[in-house]
Structure 1
Amino acid sequence: MAKRRRKAKKRLSTTKTTVWILAIIVIFLGVYAGHHFYRIWNQQRIEQQAWEQDRQAKELFIKQVAPEAQAMQNTYHVYASITIAQAILESQWGTSKLASQYHNLFGIKGTGPNSRELTTKEYINGKWIVTKGRFRVYDSWSDSIKDHTKLMLTGTDTNQQNYDRVVKASNYREAAQALQDSGYATDPDYAQKLISVIKAYKLYNYDK
């Protein structure tokens, strides 16, 4: 009888030990899973905040340049959507050094004391290369937009009608292609990039 009691107590002790071990394992797994899911949730929250900040910054940039772009369209028939899209592409949403420090939104070249030498990328002989160029300096983004419109109207030193097709275009798609055909940028996909930006951010609404 005493022997059976000792065996029963031993089995009970073993059972309790097993239960405690299982409980500890369950608690550990619960803590680990909770920490794991928290890390995922926190990472998603951080990414969501970053996305929201980026969206707000882009919306703010569009709102800052749109009024002047529309004013130029109303007077000179240079599509506001094209002006805004070019400003986005050329200035990286106003964050490039040329745009943020020197208010040049369009990468317009310049000479003399009212210009600065900066590095830039050009598509030459089938590949992108980093080179240097001199770019105009403006007092404000508004002045940069005005000068961009002037460039569309008066052309280059060697061809005053260089951008006539841009001004005379019947829609933003034609204007985008005319910019590429006129050699505004060396990027072979320039027109399609402009059109994509206009469609993505519904910039065509600013043409109305």
Structure 2
Amino acid sequence: MIHIGLAAVLLVTPPVDQAAVREAALSSGFQEAYVGAAGPIARAIHAAYDIPASVTVAQSILESNWGRSKLSANERNYFGFKCVTPTSPGPIALRCARYPSTECVPAPCHPVDAYFRSYASIEDSFRDYGRLLTTSANYAAALPVRSDPDAFIRAVARKYATDPEYANKVIRLMNLYDLRRFDA
């Protein structure tokens, strides 16, 4: 399998206008506008990391509320990635930003302040998603089934989310918005 470097892929993909993504998220018809902006980036991530673009778009929708969440609007974090420590954003993010959150491990669920990754661009957020899913041992079980988007997200969801319906929610988004078209 040949992986094209993401930098090379993003050079041939026109840069995304951050203001346009934000505007699309606030306008009527924002769903299709968001999918139209996220789809080409997800294809670039697929070319670089060989993960289903349909899953990438659907997870970004679910995690960022169509790019309308405070985390995506302010920090360009479209996948809800937290920092490793309050001062360690990882190799792609610029910094860590503090936001209120809810943690359910250990139970019961309780409010906390958490540190989330802040990115320079939507492309960097998506690139970190591709990097994390293909390098973390948490998602190693998903890699052998990456040619099947449904099986892939079911394997990813086991470690990605505590919501037992998470994979089903992602699959519903893939079906409702015909996101598998980005896998072709």
Band of TM-score, shorter chain:
0.7 to 0.9
Q: TM-score, normalised by structure 1?
A: 0.66
Match of 2:11 in 1: none
Measure the CA separation in 2 of the matches of 1:62 and 1:121: 28
Match for 1:146: what amino acid?
R
Map 1:24-173 onto structure 2 (within 5 A): 53-54=27-28, 56-110=29-83, 111-112=86-87, 114-124=95-105, 129-155=110-136, 161-169=137-145, 170-173=147-150
**Does the 8 A contact of 1:122 with 1:187 survive in 2?**
no
Counterpart of 1:176 (choices 126, 149, 153) is 153
Measure the CA separation in 1 of the matches of 2:102 and 2:58: 18
How far apart are 1:109 and its partner, in Å? Answer: 0.7
Give the structure with the larger helix fraction. Answer: 1
How far apart are 1:133 and its partner, in Å? Answer: 1.1
- Percent identity (aligned): 33
Measure the CA separation in 2 of the matches of 1:134 and 1:74: 30
Runs (4+) off by over 6 Å? none
Measure the CA separation in 2 of the matches of 1:61 and 1:127: 35
Q: TM-score, normalised by structure 2?
A: 0.74
Measure the CA separation in 2 of the matches of 1:121 and 1:206: 33
Q: 1:115-143 CA distances to partner (integer Å, 9 max, x unpaired)?
A: 01112234457775443211000011111
Cα gap change, 1:123 to 1:198, in 2 (>3 Å): farther
How far apart are 1:68 and its partner, in Å? Answer: 1.4
Q: Which has the higher contact order (CA 8 A, sep 6+)?
A: 2
Match of 1:204 in 2: 180
How far apart are 1:207 and its partner, in Å? Answer: 0.6
Aligned-residue RMSD, C-alpha: 1.8
Question: How many residue pairs are counted as aligned between the two chains?
Answer: 149
